[in-house]
Amino acid sequence: MAKNILVVNGPNLNLLGTREPDRYGSVTLPAIEKLLDESARRAGATLACFQSNSESEIVERIQRAAPEAVDFILINPAAYTHTSVAIRDALAAVRIPFIEIHLSNIHAREPFRKRSYLSDLAVGVVSGLGAKGYGLALAYALEYTGKD
Ligand code: CA2
């Protein structure tokens, strides 16, 4: 079971629930983080949340996860999904298993969103299930042993 989980959200996801509700839903990021924290606590795990609009801050947060003994990362890299070799390299360097999450179905949108720089390194990808995707990914992370 994963005990120490880090949730990372990328650029513009701080706007969740305040703009484009048809595309991204009406739940705010703090509300999502609160639900995740409650679920993690119930399972006896600890969960830290981080959001940034800056690629370098996300890279630095992922690097810090290794000395913090984070054992699973849930990440919605937002637009950096489609551009960031730096975030890919950080995730590869720390060797912490992660799930890539998207609120929307990135395969049902513009062609440039189909390419992810992270998916082939991920344990799995959740895309198109809205805010529920975070809870589903957390449930998987809590049971993850790396053996199956
Ligand atoms: O579907 C997702 O979760 C995305 O990661 C969201 C990114 C987009 O660039 C990815 O292709 C798919 C965009 C995040 C923008 O977040 C907003 C939230 C509320 C209002 C406006 C933007």
The kind and range of the H/E element at 139 are helix 132-143
Q: Mean pLDDT, to the nearest integer, of 47-52?
A: 98
Smallest CA separation from ligand 1 atom 18, residue: 16
Q: How far is CA 25 from CA 5, 28, 130, 143, in A?
A: 24, 8, 7, 27
What is the percent of the chain where pLDDT is above 70? 98
| Residues that are catalytic | 24, 102
Looking at residue 147, its pLDDT comes to 82
Closest CA to 49 of 83, 14, 17: 14
Of 7, 13, 119, which is best to mutate to test ligand 1, by the most ligand atoms within 8 angstroms of its C-beta?
A: 13
Nearest-10 crossing angle of helices 55-65, 85-94: 10
Tell me if the pTM is above 0.95: yes
Q: In terms of C-beta distances under 8 Å and separation of at least 24 residues, what long-range contacts does 23-26 make, across chains too?
A: 23/103, 23/104, 24/103, 24/104, 24/130, 25/103, 25/130, 25/131
pLDDT of residue 98: 98
pLDDT in tens, 78-107: 999 999 999 999 999 999 999 999 999 999
How far does the centroid of ligand 1 lie from the alpha carbon of residue 10, in Å? Answer: 9
CB 104 within 8 A of CB 24: yes
C-alpha closest to that of 62 among 11, 102, 8, 14: 8
